[in-house]
Amino acid sequence: MQFLFLLLFIPGFSDTLLPSNHKGHTISHTYYTVSYSEMDKQAEWVAYYLTPASVNGPQKRATKFMPDPLLEEPVKPSAYTKTGYDRGHLCPAADMKLNNVSMAECFYMSNMSPQVPSFNRGIWSKLEDKVREWAVQKNGVYVVTGPLLNKSCGTIASSITVPCAFYKIVFKQTGHGAEAIAFILSNAGSTETLKQFVVSIDYVESLTGIDFFASLPDTDEEKFESVVLTNNWQWN
């Protein structure tokens, strides 16, 4: 499989690795791609290729949240005000330190999802840190992340779905095939270790209705989507 070779020569990544759309429609920004669900007013997935250059880039964190200019009816930054939820990044700002474009785009509201503060600033932040470590160690990884979207945990601003949980998938092409790891975490604070949240990609697909590597041959997908392996990923 040579598809990951393409990722190294463009700002974002090859369309070959984009997940399928289940509830949303695709919006392509310079450094990440979104499947945006109009009914939930947020992304069902955000996908991007995370490089060491982006992790270690010079760009300072932005402070201004903005409506996504590619949406006809974008969520406004004020929609989360006094709701008790953070405007939680799906593609985190610390992953987009390459330049001012990558940083500005990751503050679009289409990249935000309602997150409990103790989750956003706690266990979710720890997972984001770990993914950045892996990106440096493995000289780049593909990341796809998003919320589990249903109405069972309520809404804010009348129409923005509050996710009950979030997932994150990390993928790396190697000389021996592919390495992948997936997580599902409840939208709540936690003191558990990150390993406690590891699941199979097949399980994430069963909950979301999304095919995360739809364009790959089924035989290739089966090799890493059905298993739960942690040994290929450094934890300390």
What are the b/e assignments for 72-84, b being 16+ CB within 10 Å?
eebbebebbeeee
Q: What is the CATH number of the domain that holds 174?
A: 3.40.570.10
Residue 230 falls within a domain, yes or no?
no
For residue range 153-173, list pLDDT tens digits in order.
999 987 999 999 999 999 998
Q: Are 165 and 185 in contact (CB under 8 A)?
A: yes
Residue 233 falls within a domain, yes or no?
no
The catalytically annotated residue of 22, 25, 29, 89 is: 89
Residue 234 falls within a domain, yes or no?
no
Whole-number Å distance between alpha carbons of 100 and 58: 9
Phi first, then psi: give them for residue 22, nearest 5 degrees: -110, -55
- pLDDT surpasses 50 at 56: yes
* Catalytic status, residue 25: no
What would the mean pLDDT of 15-41 be, rounded to a whole number? 91
Whole-number Å distance between alpha carbons of 50 and 134: 10
Structural domain boundaries, residue 28: 3-225
DSSP state letter for 121: I
For residue range 208-221, list pLDDT tens digits in order.
999 998 777 666 76
Residue 236 falls within a domain, yes or no?
no
Whole-number Å distance between alpha carbons of 156 and 159: 6
Distance of CA 113 to the CA centre of its chain: 11
Whole-number Å distance between alpha carbons of 229 and 177: 14
Residue 56 falls within a domain, yes or no?
yes
How many distinct structural domains can be found in the chain? 1
Residue 232 falls within a domain, yes or no?
no
Token reading at 161: 């779905």
Residue 155 falls within a domain, yes or no?
yes
Q: How confident is the model at residue 3 (pLDDT cuts 50, 70, 90)?
A: very low
